[in-house]
Homo-oligomer: A and B are copies of this chain.
C-alpha cells in the first residue's frame, strides 16, 4: 500500500522504517525537500540529520508535504502537535480528501515548563484529533498510537508479550477497521486494540500524555505502557 507520513522526526522515521520492512511504499512529507536533505546538523530535538537516516532507508521517498499527501492512499500525521494543522494545510485538503488520515500526534505545550501541558483549546472539551477532523472534513481521521513511545508503536512485543493497550477512535467505522488491519500487520494483537468509537475519544487518549510524561520521568524510560486489569 502507498502510505505517506507527514513529518520527518523520530516518530515518522520509526514508522517509515517499519512500513518499508512490511513491504509498503512509503512517502515522507517535509516543508522543503532540498533544505531537509542539505541539513547536516542535528535538529532542535537532537535527532541526527535526516539525510543520514535517508541514506540508510533508501526505499523511502522524500517529497513536499503536498506531493507526499497526493501519493499516499493512507496518510499518517507524525508532526509535532503544535504544528500539525499547519503542516496538514500545506499537504492540502484536496490531497487528503477521501483518505484515511491516521493521527498519532499529541497537542503538547512546552511553553509553560516541564512536563508539558496540553495546548489551550485542544484539551478536555476538544482535541487535536477532532480539530484535524473539523479542518479536513473530507478526510477520515483515525486517532491511534499516540499514547506510547514510538519504539513501542512499531514493536509492541518489546514489553509484556505485546499485551498493552492501543486505543483507536475515529468517526468512520470502516476506516477504523482498515487501520486495525494495518496495526495487526505491524504486530498489534486484536485484543489489545481498544476501539473507543468516534473521534471525541481523542480527548481522553491525548490527555493520557499527562500521566505518561510523569511516569516517563519516574521510570526513566519510554518503554512502558498500560494494560487494563478487570
A225 to B228, CA, bound (A): 6
A118 to B207, CA, bound (A): 11
Chain A: interface residue count, which band? 35 or more
CB distance A215 to B228 under 8 Å?
A: yes
Task: Determine whether A175 belongs to the interface, using a CB cutoff of 8 Å to chain B.
Answer: no
Task: Determine whether A38 belongs to the interface, using a CB cutoff of 8 Å to chain B.
Answer: no
Task: Determine whether A117 belongs to the interface, using a CB cutoff of 8 Å to chain B.
Answer: yes
Decide: A159 near B210, CB < 8 A? Known: A112-B125, A124-B118, A124-B124: no
CB distance A229 to B224 under 8 Å?
A: yes
Chain B nearest Cβ from A152, distance in angstroms: 9
Task: Determine whether A227 belongs to the interface, using a CB cutoff of 8 Å to chain B.
Answer: yes
CB distance A229 to B227 under 8 Å?
A: yes
List the B residue with the shortest CB-CB distance to A213.
Answer: B204
Task: Determine whether A180 belongs to the interface, using a CB cutoff of 8 Å to chain B.
Answer: no
Task: Determine whether A14 belongs to the interface, using a CB cutoff of 8 Å to chain B.
Answer: no
A221 to B229, CA, bound (A): 12
Q: Report A183-230 residues with CB < 8 Å from chain B CB.
A: 194, 196, 201, 203-205, 207-208, 210-211, 213-215, 218-219, 221, 223-230
Grouping DSSP codes into helix (H, G, I), strand (E, B) and loop, the A interface class, with mixed when no group exceeds half, is: mixed
CB distance A226 to B228 under 8 Å?
A: yes
CB distance B211 to A207 under 8 Å?
A: yes
Interchain Cβ contacts under 8 Å between A and B, 28 examples: A117-B203, A118-B124, A123-B123, A159-B229, A159-B230, A160-B229, A167-B211, A194-B215, A194-B218, A201-B214, A203-B210, A204-B210, A204-B213, A205-B211, A207-B207, A207-B210, A208-B208, A215-B228, A219-B228, A219-B230, A221-B230, A224-B229, A225-B229, A226-B227, A226-B228, A226-B229, A227-B228, A227-B229
